[in-house]
Chains A and B, each alone.
Chain A
Amino acid sequence: MSETTNPGTANGPTSIRSVFKGDRFGRDSGLFWAAVALLALAGGLIGDSYVLHIFILVFIWCVVIASWDLILGYAGIFNYAQLVFFAFGAYTAAMLSIYADTTPLLSIAIAGLSGAVVGVLVALPTLRLKGEYIALYTFAIHLALPPIIQQGRSIGMGGNTGLLGIPRVELFGTTLSTIDKQAWFWLALAFGSVCVYAVYFLILRRRAGLAFIAMRDVDAFAQAIGVNAVRYKLAAFMISAFFTAIAGGLYAHYTAVVTPKILGTEFFLMAMVMLAIGGMGRFPGAIIGVFVVVIGNELLRAFDDYRLLLLGIAVVLVVIFLPRGIAGAFLGQGGSRSR
């Protein structure tokens, strides 16, 4: 058949329905951007700057979690160095803006690109490792980073205190400070939605997404049918690190402060909980997880000391009763097919 190399372009004679052939792409894209539009509208109605702040964090987290979902949930690579990419992006963007006077948006872009390079460097040793050893190795990198940041004081990384006074983002001639919550809401939403769309629609619904799932399901079989595992594993790390570093850069310029705390246990656990509650590898599970966990975490602030305990109980309940997360429980087969 003439359409053999790309069955996605034509319906062709075969009746395989698949998101990897572009099925339901338009419909699902429409739903996605409609949800984004609703959020954008809501941003205009929310007056409370604290609520806006929570949503800004949600949008930034969405990028981190979508990227993590890509590598962990879809490609099945036990990468636990995700926050390393986030911290790298935050520090790179902050240092560029502070020391090199780079325009913040350019700093964030450079942070993303250099994050992609770091992603590949982190990935290289994993090519020779299997499963849980990748988890150990990547988590070791995570644990090794705070001491490195401490030592980096001499090159201006600020040690324990971190970096303060990160320049403000300028957009259309106006300067956005941390207190301009409304503008930041829209900026974070724009960044977040574009990145999340790129991950779930432009990458995971194409051939790369199929390759990731194939490697996750059965590595040997995937290679036997022609999947270049080395190339796609490197790609998973590179893409994941790229978007996460962008999120880090955005976060640094939003809070105007970066400290090694972003590598702390609480951040790490929160991210894990988002994936567990939402459901890995089944869009929009992980994204729902971000909303549920960040907002739930804020609602639980009243319980103060018991907050983490309650969060822990929530995770235990979800793992027992919804082992595939919210997405697995409510989207069923349809959800798994629309990955």
Chain B
Amino acid sequence: MDASAPQESRFTMALMSLDTVSMRFGAFQALSDLSFAILEGEILGVAGPNGAGKSTLMNVCTGGLAASGGRVIFEEQDITKTGRHRRCGLGIAQTFQIPTLLSSLTVGENLLAGHLFGAEASGRAPAIDLDTAIRTVDLGAALNRPASEADLLTRKRIMLGAALATGPKILFMDEPLGGLNADEIDILLDTVRRVRDGLGVTVVMVEHKTRALAEIADRILIINFGRFVMLDRPEVVLNDDHVVEIYLGRKHDA
């Protein structure tokens, strides 16, 4: 647990902001009028019940989907309709819920790919050099092993390492802790801290495991039915009656 709870004043600059963002799939409204800012240097947790629209939100930010309404702004630039690889070039990286890798290549080649194509997408050498990316995810010893043989935690590290090798300013992680045991969760959370503290990358983490999220996040955003519920420091959010109700049901129903 971070003893010195971050002051709210520590993060002030908006790196990315969503302005009344909506996402509609046919008749289904996955996101409705979401507006909030992701502050430079923070670790922002995103939580909400199943089907709340967390993954959709993630995709709208990273380019997997183009928002059907509203605007996504990154560094004062409208990127609502910008494609995934171009957003990568701007400094937006992501890891996926299901650890997807270049499974026919080696661990090192996965990171090398991030490095090479990150450079290609941005037109300059990635801000994080390849060795730093390797060290951050602690894969130095596994570089020449086939990625397909890696265990779950290693797969998550590879995916994270490849994302970092592109030299991002902001990293979106979709349920990075899924499937990990308590020890592995600690290892991965440590890695995420290194990413933020050591590399200065802003992190947005969608996660079900609220206790872990409270431990690492500076702020937590709660969404439900695609709508904004609240955004505040973890201790505020998780003690909020309305949030507890969303997760556990109404008190009087019990």
Is the beta-carbon distance between B109 and A220 smaller than 8 angstroms? no
Do the beta carbons of B109 and A225 come within 8 Å of each other? no
A175 at the interface (CB under 8 A from B): no
Distance of A223 Cα from B80 Cα, bound (Å): 16
Residues of A within 8 A of B101 (CB): 217-218, 221
Using a CB–CB cutoff of 8 Å, the interface residues on chain B facing chain A are 62-64, 83-85, 88-89, 93-94, 96, 100-106, 108-109, 111-122, 124-126, 129-131, 134, 140, 143-144, 146, 159, 162-163, 165-166
Q: Does A201 contact B (CB under 8 A)?
A: no
Query: Are B130 and A14 interface neighbours, CB within 8 A?
Result: yes
Is A5 positioned at the interface, with any CB of B under 8 Å from its CB? yes
**Distance of A210 Cα from B96 Cα, bound (Å):** 20
Question: Within the complex, what minimum Cβ distance (angstroms) separates A145 from chain B?
Answer: 33
CB-based contact A214/B113 at 8 Å: yes
Residues of B within 8 A of A227 (CB): 85, 113, 117, 120-121
Measured CB to CB, the closest approach of chain B to A237, in angstroms, equals: 18
A residues 17-60 near B (Cβ < 8 Å) are 17-18, 20-21
Looking at A103-111, A115-123, A331-339, the stretch in contact with chain B turns out to be A331-339
Main secondary structure of the interface of B (DSSP, over half): helix
Q: How far is the CA of A18 from the CA of B114 in the complex (A)?
A: 14
Cβ-defined contact, A218 with B119, below 8 A: no
Question: With A16-B106, A213-B104, A337-B106 given, is the CB distance from A207 to B120 under 8 Å?
Answer: yes
Measured CA separation A213–B117 after assembly (Å): 13
Bound form: Cα–Cα A17–B146 in Å? 11
From B83, B88, B131, A14 is in contact (CB under 8 Å) with: B131
Q: Given contacts A5-B124, A207-B120, list 18 more A-B pairs with CB under 8 A.
A: A1-B125, A1-B129, A5-B125, A12-B130, A13-B131, A16-B144, A17-B143, A210-B117, A211-B117, A216-B104, A217-B104, A220-B84, A221-B100, A221-B159, A222-B117, A223-B84, A224-B63, A225-B163
Contact B105 A213 (CB under 8 A): yes
Inter-chain contact A221/B96, CB cutoff 8 Å: yes
Contact residues of A with B, CB < 8 Å? 1, 4-5, 7, 12-18, 20-21, 207, 210-211, 213-214, 216-218, 220-229, 281, 333, 336-337, 339
- With A4-B119, A20-B112, A225-B166 known as contacts, the answer to whether A220 contacts B102 (CB < 8 A) is no
A226 x B85 contact (CB < 8 A) = yes
Chain B: which residue is nearest A227 at the CB level? B117
Q: In whole angstroms, what is the CA distance A12 to B101 when docked?
A: 24
Across the interface, which residues of A come within 8 angstroms of B165, CB to CB?
225
Distance in Å from the Cβ of A175 to the closest Cβ of chain B?
47
* Contact between B117 and A214, CB atoms less than 8 A apart: yes
Q: Are A333 and B146 in contact (CB under 8 A)?
A: yes
Whole-angstrom CA separation of A5 from B143 in the bound complex: 19
In the complex, the answer to whether A226 meets B130 with C-beta atoms within 8 Å is no
Q: Which residues of B contact A214 (CB under 8 A)?
A: 102, 113, 117
Contact B113–A228 (Cβ < 8 Å): no
